[in-house]
């Protein structure tokens, strides 16, 4: 076995690199065709999800294989090789098997224990089979990976360690509120009708949203998904709309989940800003300051002059918002979509504010921007707005569907792949993870032993064929020397010679298969060929016959 995997994932590369390196359906096909056209690879398939791209291949040369697969990944992903290389990882032989089995069990997922990866592994195998790029090794490996993943989920509580990316994303949108309570009665828009979008729609229906609108470029798929949701028995109302209606639907929904194969943005910051500006939203609960010039409750005042603060509050009283460390905080008056005293274009948004007060406000806002830049990035991505969330957005696409800038819009909460990666880094590991790791170790050892044993089987079969040929030649020779033997005598002599040969070969062939199944046992096949002077072409023909017939597995009766 010379299995090689070259890839990158959320564990090795930042989301910005993964986003750019994503593969379209056509790119996957071209990548696999080019991989087989390359000299080191004899079979291959690609596993590409929203947070990983991995190219699996059976290669005859390790270093040449790594160089070729890395170059092909860079070529088809559109990211230059020198930029991609620092984020690539390489696994070979047993380590490659261990990696795929761990992936199948959800141990390498962004959300540990999620089961959706099994469907993606199945899709990767199906693609290799459809394109005829998956040979015996890839077929055996991926089919076994699927069995290992199912075993892990059925024999352990790994499901308790995590959940699907969709469920985890909804939990992040709901913050500290139970998802079912947060989702009850909400209206949702699902953009896309693929496997991830379908899972998202089903999850939303299960947790209790009242209405789901499905938008997709292919109308038939959107309508089919809507029909399935209505028939699911959850009581959800579901309709399909064309993509042209997305902007209108944004104004009337509470939650958006987007996962399409688009290469550009599906929702821009302007789209979202227009939606929350025109959509109906409940006003935030009013807050009454202690005095006419009092600071808003909860506003951090450390290091700020009290007089300056009082003047700023007085200056901004009509606008109703102040900038503090990059986040908008609500004060006494009802606010518009963005009531900061200084608008985004730098022009004053307040009437009658004296220049001195406006200058002081600008100074404080600048200090806030500097403070925001000194904070860790995740603090600006994962903290909910102080205002009521008007629109919750979950972006599960790679590359992203929703402009990351929307998280700066008041009343909008965005959770995307990047923020999910940050949040999952703090998720506790379940005790069952150790049990799954044990299963993976067992299965890797068993798979390696089976592959090494299968590797020597053609040699053993060729040896037995040679022995049978020798027996046949000697019986024919005996017939020439003793022509008077009757049929019963000739059969007895023939059977005796065969028994002698079988007994002489039994122990060596059984033992060599046992030795070959152990790590480092690949050399025993070569030793057997050398000792018995076996014709390499005969051994190769047996190997080709086995590869052509997947059901022609090792038969203990033939080899012993």
Each residue's pLDDT tens digit, 156-185: 888 765 567 788 889 889 988 999 999 999
Q: Does residue 340 have a known ligand-binding role?
A: no
- Is the confidence at residue 39, as pLDDT, over 50? yes
Write the DSSP assignment of 253-269 as a string of letters. -SEEEE----SS-SB-H
Q: Does residue 197 have a known ligand-binding role?
A: yes
Q: How confident is the model at residue 398 (pLDDT cuts 50, 70, 90)?
A: confident
The pair phi, psi for residue 121, each rounded to 5°, is -65, -40
Each residue's pLDDT tens digit, 222-265: 999 999 999 988 899 999 999 999 999 999 999 999 998 887 89
Helices and strands in the chain, H and E counts:
21, 12
Q: What pLDDT, on a 0 to 100 scale, did the predictor assign at position 519?
A: 65
Compute the distance between CA of residue 10 and CA of residue 6 in angstroms, rounded to an integer.
14
Which superfamily, per CATH, for 165-278+388-422? NAD(P)-binding Rossmann-like Domain (3.40.50.720)
∠363-367-368 over CA atoms, to 5°? Answer: 115
Domain 2-162 listed as CATH 3.30.460.30: yes
Q: What pLDDT, on a 0 to 100 scale, did the predictor assign at position 289?
A: 45
- Is the confidence at residue 548, as pLDDT, over 70? no
The yes-or-no answer on residue 105 being catalytic is no
Residue 151 near residue 143, CB atoms below 8 Å: no
What is the separation, in whole angstroms, between the first and last Cα of the chain? 23
- Is the confidence at residue 317, as pLDDT, over 70? no
Structure token pair of residue 528: 């057997």
Q: What pLDDT, on a 0 to 100 scale, did the predictor assign at position 161?
A: 56
Give the E-state strand segments of 192-233 in sequence order.
Answer: 211-215
Q: How confident is the model at residue 378 (pLDDT cuts 50, 70, 90)?
A: very low
Compute the distance between CA of residue 508 and CA of residue 123 in angstroms, rounded to an integer.
42
Q: Does residue 120 have a known ligand-binding role?
A: yes
Burial class for 381, CB neighbours closer than 10 Å (0-12, 13-18, 19+): middle
Candidate list 50, 105, 259, 340, residue with the active-site label? 50
Name the 3-class secondary structure at 532.
coil
Domain residue ranges of the chain, discontinuous segments joined by +? 2-162, 165-278+388-422
Residue 76 near residue 55, CB atoms below 8 Å: no
Q: What pLDDT, on a 0 to 100 scale, did the predictor assign at position 240?
A: 95
Each residue's pLDDT tens digit, 421-458: 777 665 555 567 888 999 999 999 889 888 777 777 77
- What does the pLDDT average to over 84-92? 94
- What does the pLDDT average to over 18-27? 87
Residue 123 near residue 70, CB atoms below 8 Å: no
- Is the confidence at residue 104, as pLDDT, over 50? yes
- What does the pLDDT average to over 289-315? 44
Q: How confident is the model at residue 18 (pLDDT cuts 50, 70, 90)?
A: confident
Each residue's pLDDT tens digit, 190-207: 999 887 888 889 999 999
Write the DSSP assignment of 294-322 as a string of letters. PPPTT---TT--HHHHHHHHHHHTTT-EE
Where on the phi/psi map is residue 410: left (φ > 0), alpha (ψ -120 to 50), or beta? Answer: beta
List the one residue out of 148, 152, 145, 151 whose CA is nearest residue 113: 152
Q: Does residue 193 have a known ligand-binding role?
A: yes
For the chain, give the longest Cα–Cα distance: 130
Whole-number average pLDDT of the chain: 76
Q: How far is residue 413 from each of residues 248, 402, 416, 466, measured CA to CA in Å?
A: 19, 12, 10, 73
């Amino acid at each position: 076995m010379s299995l090689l995997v070259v890839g990158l994932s959320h564990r090795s590369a930042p989301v910005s690199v993964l986003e750019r390196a994503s593969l379209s359906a056509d790119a996957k096909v071209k990548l696999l065709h080019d991989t087989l056209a390359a000299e080191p690879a004899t079979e291959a398939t690609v596993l590409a999800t929203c947070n990983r791209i991995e190219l699996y291949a059976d290669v005859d040369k390790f270093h040449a294989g790594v160089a070729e697969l890395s170059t092909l990944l860079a070529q088809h992903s559109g990211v230059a090789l020198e930029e991609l290389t620092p984020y690539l990882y390489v696994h070979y032989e047993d380590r490659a098997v261990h990696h795929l089995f761990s992936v199948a069990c959800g141990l390498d997922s962004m959300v540990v224990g999620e089961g959706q990866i099994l469907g993606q592994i199945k899709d990767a195998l199906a693609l290799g089979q459809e394109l005829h790029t998956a040979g015996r090794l890839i077929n055996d490996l991926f089919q076994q990976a699927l069995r290992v993943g199912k075993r892990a989920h059925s024999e352990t509580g790994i499901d308790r360690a995590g959940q699907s990316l969709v469920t985890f994303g909804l939990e992040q949108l709901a913050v500290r509120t139970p998802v079912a309570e947060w989702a009850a009665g909400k209206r949702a828009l699902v953009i896309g009708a693929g496997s991830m979008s379908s899972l998202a729609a089903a999850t939303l229906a299960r947790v209790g949203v009242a209405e789901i609108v499905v938008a997709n470029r292919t109308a038939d798929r959107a309508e089919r998904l809507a029909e399935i949701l209505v028939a699911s028995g959850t009581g959800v109302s579901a309709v399909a709309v064309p993509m042209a209606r997305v902007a209108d639907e944004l104004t009337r929904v509470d939650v958006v989940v987007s996962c399409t194969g688009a290469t550009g943005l599906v929702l821009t910051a302007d789209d979202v800003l227009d939606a929350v500006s025109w959509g109906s939203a409940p006003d935030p609960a009013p807050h009454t300051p202690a005095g006419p010039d009092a600071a808003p409750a909860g506003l951090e005042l450390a290091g700020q002059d009290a007089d300056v603060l009082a003047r700023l509050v007085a200056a901004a009283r009509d606008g109703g918002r102040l900038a503090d460390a990059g986040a908008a905080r609500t004060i006494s008056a009802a606010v518009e979509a963005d009531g900061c005293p200084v608008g985004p274009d730098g022009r004053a948004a307040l009437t009658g504010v004296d220049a001195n007060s406006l200058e002081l406000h600008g100074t404080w806002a600048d200090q806030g921007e500097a403070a925001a830049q000194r904070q860790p990035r995740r603090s600006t991505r994962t903290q909910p707005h102080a205002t009521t969330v008007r629109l919750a957005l979950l972006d599960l696409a790679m590359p992203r569907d929703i402009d990351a800038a929307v998280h700066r819009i008041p009343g909008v909460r965005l959770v995307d792949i990047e923020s999910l990666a940050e949040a999952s880094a703090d998720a506790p590991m379940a005790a069952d993870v150790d049990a799954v790791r044990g299963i993976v170790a067992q299965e890797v050892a068993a798979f390696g032993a089976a592959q090494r044993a299968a590797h020597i089987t053609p040699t053993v079969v060729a040896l037995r064929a040679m022995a049978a040929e020798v027996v046949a030649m000697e019986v024919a020779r005996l017939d020439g020397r003793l022509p008077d033997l009757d049929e019963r005598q000739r059969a007895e002599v023939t059977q005796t010679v065969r028994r002698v040969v079988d007994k002489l070969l039994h122990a060596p062939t059984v033992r060599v298969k046992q030795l070959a199944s152990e790590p480092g046992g690949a050399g025993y096949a070569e030793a057997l060929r050398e000792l018995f002077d076996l014709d390499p072409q005969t051994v190769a023909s047996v190997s080709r016959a086995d590869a052509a017939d997947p059901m022609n597995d090792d038969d203990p009766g033939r080899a012993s």
